[in-house]
Chain A
Amino acid sequence: MKRFMNIRPSRGAKLFLGLLPFIIVAVFYLVASDMRLAENPNDKLLPSMASFSEAIDRMAFEPSKRTGEILFIGDTVSSLERLGLGVLISAVLAMLIGIPLGFIPFLRAGLSPFVAAFSMVPPMAILPILFIVFGMGELAKVALIVIGVTPLLVRDMQQRVSEIPVEQLIKAQTLGGSSWTIVMRVVLPQVFPRLLDAVRITLGTAWIFLISAEAIAATEGLGYRIFLVRRYMSMDVILPYVAWITVLAFLFDFTLKKLTYKLFPWYTAGKEGS
């Protein structure tokens, strides 16, 4: 008999084992929900599948009685706009700040302590300041994401730039490169896929800031809706929204990963080799 650590599951077994936890949680939920509803048909904590589909129908397929819009779509669009804009601005800032910071000793000496200190400020604590300065509109919510995510990305970029082997940078100088052309041809192309990786990893953090900001001050958005219906204990709306946010987060992660590997074939190859 082989050691347990050396036994590998077959393809089919892998698929089954991967699905198993999902099935267990689903079954567990259905049983628990049935038990509670049998005791009290008005229980709101664990709604039945029927009330879920009724809620989804109401939120996603029927126009709202008050505004005439479909709430679910409006919420998704405005949340994704904020998230997308916030992450995009953060990524651009990370490139503009992180690369020079990692590459030019003078800038590193001058700015590195500041970035390190700034990244320690808890973004949620300055959210009131953002609301005061930027008002209650979109800007404050996007700014929260930018302030929360940019320092993480900047420090990651700085780290990646300093990880480029010094041999490569010296070689590039002997080939006639200037600081500028070496950034353009050696540094930027090599850290760009790493930036996409970093964006992927910080997306979770970005979601936290987005939902927090929406919970506090917004008129639509996925986070706003969840916190709004909490007042009526509408678990039949909250749970589908949470599931939807999870699906969106997964899709972004998956797409970014595939995109990175598709655009930068050398990047994956290097990873497998190391």
Chain B
Amino acid sequence: MSLISIKNLWKKYDDNVVLERITLDIQEGEFCTLVGPSGCGKSTFLKMLLGQETPTSGTFLLDGKPFPAEPGIERGIVFQRYSVFPHLTVLGNVMMSMEMKESKVLGKFFGAKRKEAKRTAMEMLTSVGLGDAADKYPSELSGGMQQRLSIAQSLVNKPKILLLDEPFGALDPGIRADMHKLILDLWEKNNLTIVMVTHDLKESFYLGTRLLVFDKVRYEPQAPNMYGALITYDIPVGDTRESVLKEVEESINE
């Protein structure tokens, strides 16, 4: 069974059709990248996956069950900006993920539980390369480091899907390359399912295992909102996992 299963999904705002006839299955472990011209509804689609928006009609299943209508713990998100908490240190930000998940009354751990959470959080921070910045506040971090933190924050709770909304769009090219390496590394090690919106086609080809292009194919000049965007391309792209590359390399050398 696929992790995400979508059949004939439509999204309308009043008479304004944003998305139409979306049919899609996403398997566990896929790294889907979403591209398309601006205003084509790819962000709306991501918002529906997140639970921030609900589809107007169609089947929309997560793990065989209807998608929850609000954001929840099974889906992690990294936005382009503003997704870390400015009033907590780097370590505090990651620990809060665990605290919010388990401590329902105070949202805070004490004593042994706190120590344990601290250890897990430090491991997570080290794996995203923020081990040395644990006591800093987000305002002291560069844009790339803030995104690393945001990723760590989501991953520590082990979400079924990690959603990325143009996460590297505001970063310098050099930093972006580092982030690409990091996200591929994390994707492979943690066996993640990732859906990422980007406007950088090169990035989408390089990172994903599957490329989804959203576009409007029908356009009525008299009523520009009559038709919505649909998926025009759904193509598998280069598998960039190190292990797969090695596997291929080994099979060739034999």
Chain A interface residues (CB < 8 Å from chain B) = 165, 167-168, 170-178, 180-182, 184-186, 189-190, 264-267, 269-270, 273
Q: Tell me the minimal C-beta distance from B85 to chain A in angstroms.
A: 6
Chain A residues in 8 Å Cβ range of B106: 181, 184
CA distance A176 to B157 in the complex (A): 9
**Interface SS of B by simple majority:** loop
| Residues B149-207 near A (CB distance < 8 A) | 150, 153-154, 157, 159
In the complex, the answer to whether A175 meets B108 with C-beta atoms within 8 Å is: no
CA distance A184 to B86 in the complex (A): 15
Q: Tell me the minimal C-beta distance from A167 to chain B in angstroms.
A: 4
> A-B contact count, CB below 8 Å?
94
| B126 is an interface residue with CB less than 8 A from chain A | no
Query: Which of B50, B79, B108, B157 has the largest number of chain A CB atoms within 10 A?
Result: B79
| B96 is an interface residue with CB less than 8 A from chain A | yes
In the complex, the answer to whether A185 meets B108 with C-beta atoms within 8 Å is: yes
CA distance A166 to B138 in the complex (A): 17
Chain A residues in 8 Å Cβ range of B70: 173
| B16 is an interface residue with CB less than 8 A from chain A | no
CA distance A102 to B99 in the complex (A): 24
| B77 is an interface residue with CB less than 8 A from chain A | yes
CA distance A165 to B103 in the complex (A): 24
Query: Which of A168, A173, A265, A267 has the largest number of chain B CB atoms within 10 A?
Result: A173
What are 14 pairs between A and B in contact, CB < 8 Å? Answer: A167-B81, A168-B83, A170-B77, A171-B83, A171-B84, A173-B70, A174-B73, A174-B159, A175-B73, A176-B72, A177-B100, A185-B100, A185-B108, A189-B87
Query: Which of A171, A172, A266, A270 has the largest number of chain B CB atoms within 10 A?
Result: A171
In the complex, the answer to whether A171 meets B100 with C-beta atoms within 8 Å is: no
> Given A168-B82, A181-B100, A185-B99, is A173 in contact with B71 using a C-beta cutoff of 8 Å?
yes
| B101 is an interface residue with CB less than 8 A from chain A | yes
> Given A170-B52, A171-B77, A171-B150, is A181 in contact with B140 using a C-beta cutoff of 8 Å?
no
Q: How many residues of B contact A (CB 8 A)?
A: 40
Q: Tell me the minimal C-beta distance from A123 to chain B in angstroms.
A: 33
In the complex, the answer to whether B77 meets A266 with C-beta atoms within 8 Å is: no
Q: Tell me the minimal C-beta distance from B132 to chain A in angstroms.
A: 19
> Given A264-B87, A269-B139, A270-B139, is A174 in contact with B107 using a C-beta cutoff of 8 Å?
no
Chain A residues in 8 Å Cβ range of B104: 178, 180-181
Chain B residues in 8 Å Cβ range of A174: 50, 71-73, 75-77, 154, 159
> Given A174-B154, A175-B153, A185-B100, is A167 in contact with B76 using a C-beta cutoff of 8 Å?
no
Chain B interface residues (CB < 8 Å from chain A) = 50-52, 70-73, 75-77, 79, 81-88, 96-97, 99-108, 137-140, 150, 153-154, 157, 159
Q: Tell me the minimal C-beta distance from B215 to chain A in angstroms.
A: 26
Chain B residues in 8 Å Cβ range of A270: 86, 139
Chain A residues in 8 Å Cβ range of B73: 174-176
- In the A-B complex, the 9 residue pairs with the smallest Cβ-Cβ separation, listed nearest first, are A181-B107, A176-B101, A165-B82, A173-B71, A167-B82, A176-B73, A269-B139, A177-B100, A185-B107
Chain B residues in 8 Å Cβ range of A167: 79, 81-83
Chain A residues in 8 Å Cβ range of B159: 174
Q: Tell me the minimal C-beta distance from B102 to chain A in angstroms.
A: 8
Chain B residues in 8 Å Cβ range of A190: 85-87
> Given A168-B82, A170-B71, A184-B106, is A175 in contact with B101 using a C-beta cutoff of 8 Å?
yes
In the complex, the answer to whether B96 meets A175 with C-beta atoms within 8 Å is: yes
CA distance A173 to B96 in the complex (A): 12
In the complex, the answer to whether A172 meets B150 with C-beta atoms within 8 Å is: no
Residue of A nearest to B159 (CB): A174
> Given A173-B70, A174-B50, A174-B154, is A266 in contact with B96 using a C-beta cutoff of 8 Å?
no
CB within 8 A of A168: which of B51, B85, B101, B154? B85
CA distance A75 to B100 in the complex (A): 49
In the complex, the answer to whether B83 meets A266 with C-beta atoms within 8 Å is: no
CA distance A265 to B154 in the complex (A): 25
CA distance A181 to B106 in the complex (A): 6
In the complex, the answer to whether B139 meets A175 with C-beta atoms within 8 Å is: no
Chain A residues in 8 Å Cβ range of B72: 173-174, 176
Chain B residues in 8 Å Cβ range of A181: 100, 103-107
Q: Tell me the minimal C-beta distance from A181 to chain B in angstroms.
A: 4
In the complex, the answer to whether B77 meets A185 with C-beta atoms within 8 Å is: no
Chain B residues in 8 Å Cβ range of A177: 100, 107
CA distance A182 to B50 in the complex (A): 18
Chain A residues in 8 Å Cβ range of B77: 170-171, 174
Q: Tell me the minimal C-beta distance from A178 to chain B in angstroms.
A: 6
Chain B residues in 8 Å Cβ range of A175: 73, 96-97, 100-101, 153-154, 157
Chain A residues in 8 Å Cβ range of B99: 185
Q: Tell me the minimal C-beta distance from A176 to chain B in angstroms.
A: 4
Q: Tell me the minimal C-beta distance from B77 to chain A in angstroms.
A: 5
